[in-house]
Structure 1
Amino acid sequence: MVASVAVIQGAGGSLGSHFARHLLKRTSLSVVGTSRDPAAAKKAILDGAGDGFDPSRLTVLELDVKREDSVAQAASDVEKRFGAKSLRLLINASGVLHADKSIRQVDMDQLLETFQLNTFGHLLAFKHFCRLLPQKNDMRKSQADSADQDPANGAVHPGLSVLASLTAKVGSMGDNKMGGWIGYRASKAAANQTIVTLQRELSMRSTPSIALALHPGTVVGTNLSKPWTREEDAGKKPGVHDADTATAKLLDVISGLGEKDGGRFLNYAGEELPW
């Protein structure tokens, strides 16, 4: 059977819930959202989503990225429900921003939470869900190279699986001109390194899968961005979007990638960003 499951880690947030909505509408994949509060996440995904999709394709599981046993259990639940080689797409969308403006404002508790949500949780999701990636022989047997039989409906290249994390342009060391937000920047840079290292491992394994770091731009109206953005600015400046637009653009980027595109750091327009 062709890999037919998309997992959105952090599906209760603005970006995670909109990723899930788009995938329900644009594909025939089974969509699995994960959250510390599954009921709230399901509500966030379905409220205001409108019609045009089958809500029975949505499964929401409990997952707390601060607890590895919780991540492992969610991966086991997906395997039991959908099969051992079922993973087509994983998007890590969890994140937090504590805006320390200088090194003197760094707080240990906030720093630990920042790395737990922005880096370690993403890494642990990769660790436990990776085993659900199909191998090349699985893909051949499934006829996944036939686009008209592919439940991804073009959202992921036929015969390919994608592991992606939302990082951020401010995690780029090459682009850091202003400083500030040191904990957030460091956690995103560490997440980027995780992506590059994971891609090296995927390249040595017999799995047609790629890992990506993705920058959504400045997304207004989210819990993370509300203190620094205005919702009315969406679309008025390059790279400033609402969550619906940002996630649609990132899924468009993913849809255009092939097996040779692993280990890249891309923005919402598919442009390469410096590490």
Structure 2
Amino acid sequence: MSGSAVIIGASGGIGAAFVAALEDEGAFDIVHGFARSWSGARHIDLTDEASIAAAAAHVATGPAPTLVIVATGLLHDTVRGPEKAMRELDPVWLARNFAINAIGPALVAKHFLPLGAKGKPAVFAVLSARVGSISDNKLGGWYGYRASKAALNQLVRTLAIEEKRRNDRSIVVALHPGTVNTALSKPFQSNVQPGRLFDAERAALQLLDVIEGLKVPDSGKLFDFEGKEVPF
């Protein structure tokens, strides 16, 4: 693909691996990386729409983006982890989950999707999670993470419908990377089956392979790292 590629969350494990892989492939005119911890033109904060708009304006000065990946997510921080039972539900923590896992990516779509050229292939992908699938929920728990990722999946479906009207060659998808050896999964890795904990480089390459194989009818869906559709 020509044009530019954009990685939101480029300072994280998977995000950095995406940037490295795309730069190594050399298929894009330029690869933009943005992160909350970076300053200047490469700064973006998903809880601050003005920073998202500024990042989009920066990208708009160059080749139109044909690939945008939102590689961000919140599962825990230094104080709180995912809820194991409803007695742990807290409105502030729930709101933060939704702000980062659902609202932020939606605002990225708001500002970045219109930058794509009409009539040309383009992919907008967000990292979601299998646990956001309502039909696949067999264990319960993890209320905020599950609900915010389910909301993200619905936002992807809705964005895909509108984007098709603007550009019928555009693809908007959610991707499940599996369990990746990053700070996000670190506290829960002991429960991962042997061979199912991926390093960030492998995860990024797997998802790029999935993206490469996407077709327009795939827009609005959730796919795992093997390219298999995960029911909402």
Q: What is the TM-score of this pair, normalised by structure 2?
A: 0.91
Q: Which runs of 5+ in 1 are unaligned?
A: 40-58, 140-159
User: Would you say the 8 A contact 1:32–1:60 is kept in 2?
Assistant: no
Task: Show the counterpart of 2:205.
Answer: 248
Contact map agreement 2:132 2:147 (CA 8 A) in 1: yes
- Counting only pairs closer than 5 Å after superposition, residues 204-243 of structure 1 correspond to structure 2 as 204-220=165-181, 222-229=182-189, 236-237=194-195, 239-243=196-200
Q: CA deviation at 1:113?
A: 1.6
The answer for the alignment partner of 1:103 in structure 2 is 86
1:167 is the counterpart of 2:100: no
Cα distance in 1 for partners of 2:217, 2:26 equals 23
Q: 2:52 aligns with which of 52, 66, 71?
A: 71
Give the CA deviation at 1:246.
1.0
Q: In structure 2, the residue corresponding to 1:174 is in which secondary structure?
A: coil
Deviations 1:63-97 (A, max 9, x none): 111101110111011112x04xx011111111111
Rounded Cα–Cα distance in structure 2 between residues aligned with 1:96 and 1:103: 19
**CA–CA distance in 1 between the matches of 2:50 and 2:71?**
19
Query: Partner of 2:205: helix, strand, or coil?
Result: helix
Aligned to 1:94: 72
Say if 2:37 and 2:43, in contact at 8 Å, map to a contact too: yes
Q: Which amino acid aligns with 1:72?
A: A
Q: What is the CA–CA distance in structure 1 between the aligned matches of 2:98 and 2:48, rounded to whole Å?
A: 13
Percent sequence identity is 41
**Is the CA contact 1:14–1:243 (under 8 Å) kept in the aligned structure 2?**
yes
> Which whole-Å CA distance do the structure 2 matches of 1:106 and 1:3 have between them?
46
How far apart in 2 are the matches of 1:269 and 1:65? 28
Separation in 2, partners of 1:73, 1:60: 8
Question: Could you list the per-position Cα deviations for residues 32-67 of structure 1 after superposition, in whole angstroms to 9, with x for gaps in the alignment?
Answer: 11111226xxxxxxxxxxxxxxxxxxx971111110
Residues 2 and 27 of structure 2 are in contact (CA less than 8 Å); yes or no, is this contact kept in structure 1? no
- Preserved contact between residue 41 and residue 58 of structure 2 (Cα < 8 Å): no
What is the CA–CA distance in structure 1 between the aligned matches of 2:47 and 2:226, rounded to whole Å?
31
Aligned residue pair count: 226
Which residue is 1:271 aligned to?
228
Q: What is the alpha-carbon distance in structure 1 between the residues aligned to residue 186 and residue 41 of structure 2?
A: 26
Which protein is bigger by CA-based radius of gyration? 1
Shift of 1:195: 0.5
Q: 1:6 to 1:60 in 2, by over 3 A?
A: farther
State the Cα distance separating 1:109 from its structure 2 match.
Answer: 2.2
- Mapped to 2, the partners of 1:60 and 1:208 lie a distance apart of 29
Matched-pair contact (CA < 8 Å) for 1:216–1:267: yes
2:129/2:175 contact within 8 Å kept:
yes
Give the C-alpha shift of residue 28 in structure 1.
Answer: 3.0
Question: 1:217, 1:181 → 2: CA distance?
Answer: 16
Separation in structure 2 between the aligned mates of residue 111 and residue 264 of structure 1, nearest angstrom: 24
Preserved contact between residue 199 and residue 263 of structure 1 (Cα < 8 Å): yes
Alpha-carbon spacing, 1:60–1:19, altered in 2? closer, same or farther (3 Å): farther
How far did 1:112 drift?
Answer: 1.8
How many angstroms does 1:108 deviate by?
2.1
- Which piece of structure 1 moves more, 66-75 or 3-12? 3-12
Report the residue type matching 2:9 in the other structure. Answer: G
Give the structure-1-normalised TM-score: 0.78
